[in-house]
Amino acid sequence: MTAPTIDLALDTDFEWCAQLMSTNDPWLTLGRDFETCLVRCRGPEFVVLLARNGEQRAGFLLLHPTGVAGSPYIAAIAVSAAARGQGVGSALLAAAERWFPAARHIFLCVSSFNTRAKKLYELRGYVQVGELPDYVIAGASEFIMHKRLERP
Ligand SMILES: CC(C)(COP(=O)(O)OP(=O)(O)OC[C@H]1O[C@@H](n2cnc3c(N)ncnc32)[C@H](O)[C@@H]1OP(=O)(O)O)[C@@H](O)C(=O)NCCC(=O)NCCS
């Protein structure tokens, strides 16, 4: 399988990213509509990485440079349904982990009902370090996950 190419997203990619977000869980369950997602994707504070399979957009990742305790924070990651299970999500995570070469730590949050995504993060070395009960919606937690980045 060919690895996806990953680059900074352009302004013209943000509507596609917001559409992917707002039509998929966890954002559906968390009540994030298209407009809310678009504002987030356009947020000047974020680095937005876009993965492509050939010409086709396949997924994206929102990265805040200093979002948790001064370390990078992955605020969102999504892969289009047709491209899942082929390593695109893992490639986006790897790119985010390399994006700030001086960073020693990286964080993300995952919803308690998103068990498959949590499993992916654990396989990639992320460890749950906290839980925020009823954080976005009642009855669901956000798990805070941390990975220590190995640098040469
Ligand atoms: C989570 C997600 C980004 C993973 O991307 P991906 O390209 O499918 O990931 P990879 O191919 O690198 O790895 C596959 C692994 O991802 C996990 N995964 C999570 N949700 C998945 C889904 N809907 N379909 C396939 N794999 C999924 C599984 O652990 C899977 O491993 P498995 O095949 O052994 O079960 C993608 O499934 C997605 O966009 N899901 C919807 C949005 C979401 O949940 N984002 C995370 C918010 S914290």
What residue ranges define each of the domains in the chain, with the CATH number in brackets? 5-148 (3.40.630.30)
Which tokens go with 136?
């976005």
Ligand 1-lining residues (CB < 6 angstroms)? 24, 26, 77-79, 84-90, 110, 114, 116-117, 119-120
Specify the 3-state DSSP secondary structure of 86: coil
Tens-digit pLDDT profile for residues 124-144: 999 999 999 999 999 999 999
pLDDT bucket at 2, cuts 50 / 70 / 90: confident
pLDDT band at 150 (very low <50, low <70, confident <90, very high): confident
Q: What are phi and psi of 16, to 5 degrees?
A: -65, -45
Contact 75, 46 (CB under 8 A): yes
Instruction: State the sign of the Cα–Cα–Cα–Cα dihedral 63, 66, 71, 73.
Output: negative
What pTM was computed for the model?
0.95
End-to-end CA distance of the chain: 28
pLDDT at residue 151 greater than cutoff 90:
no
